[in-house]
Structure formats: C-alpha cells, structure tokens
Amino acid sequence: MKWWQTGTRPDYRFSLANERTFLAWIRTALALIAGAVGVDQFASHLGSPLTRLSLALVLFCVGGALGAVAYARWARAENAMRHEADLPRSLLLPILATITALLAIALAWLVITS
C-alpha cells in the first residue's frame, strides 16, 4: 500500500497549507536557478569567467537540490498528518539560510572587487 493511502485523510486545510509550503520551496528553487542564469548570462563584468561559472553552478545545484528536498519534506509532513504524528523537524531552513548568506557574501565580494 502506498504511503498516501495509509492512515486517515487529514483535514483539507492542513493538506493545502502543506502544499502551499511546498510551492513556496519550489519558487525559492526556481529563483536560485534564475539567479544562476543571471550570473552566467548578464554579469560578464563581475570577476573572472571561472568565478562566474562556479557561482552559477553552485546556484544551479542548490536550486535543483532544493526542488527535490522540497518534495521529500512535503511527503514527510503529509505522511505525519495522515498518521496523526508530530510534524518532522526540518534542517532545510538553517541549511538554506546559511547557503543564502554565503552566496550573498560571494556576490557582494564580486561586486566590490569588480
């Protein structure tokens, strides 16, 4: 039996709230990917080509990974609601906040030194 067929169906309001959270994570992932395209295509005056490529690749990878992790997070929360368990703790928030801060520092350094 599939996980989404087990337990009891949660209140739709909670399922929809979980889905909205998932979509917010997807928007964040898409923004990171768009930032990678922006760094690669429109910031030719910032740093060396290798630096720009490295930064763009980090943004692409983080954005892609975030999309996959967002689905796993949604599924764990949905499964917990179906079994009336506590929602799982997520390390995604501090990890994403740290990566975002490091990327902001790297971009600021590129802007200042160019």
Q: What are the pLDDT digits (tens) for 21-45?
A: 999 999 999 999 999 999 999 888 8
Q: Which of 44-53, 57-66, 71-80 has the lowest mean pLDDT?
A: 44-53
Q: Does residue 30 belong to any structural domain of this protein?
A: yes
pLDDT bracket for residue 114 (50, 70, 90) = confident
Q: Does residue 18 belong to any structural domain of this protein?
A: yes
Q: Does residue 1 belong to any structural domain of this protein?
A: no
Q: Which residues contact 60 (CB under 8 A, 6 or more apart)?
A: 32, 33, 36
Cα separation, 48 vs 46, whole angstroms: 7
- What is the per-residue pLDDT across 92-104, written as a single tens digit (0 to 9) for each? 889 989 999 998 9
Helix boundaries (H) for the chain: 12-42, 49-82, 92-113
Inter-residue contact 73 to 19 (CB < 8 Å) = no
**Residue 4 reports pLDDT greater than 80:** no
Q: Does residue 65 belong to any structural domain of this protein?
A: yes
Q: Does residue 4 belong to any structural domain of this protein?
A: no
- What's this model's pTM, rounded to 2 decimal places? 0.83
- Structural domains in the chain (count): 1
Q: Does residue 3 belong to any structural domain of this protein?
A: no
> What pLDDT shows up at residue 47?
80
Inter-residue contact 99 to 62 (CB < 8 Å) = yes
Domain residues for the domain of 48 are 11-113
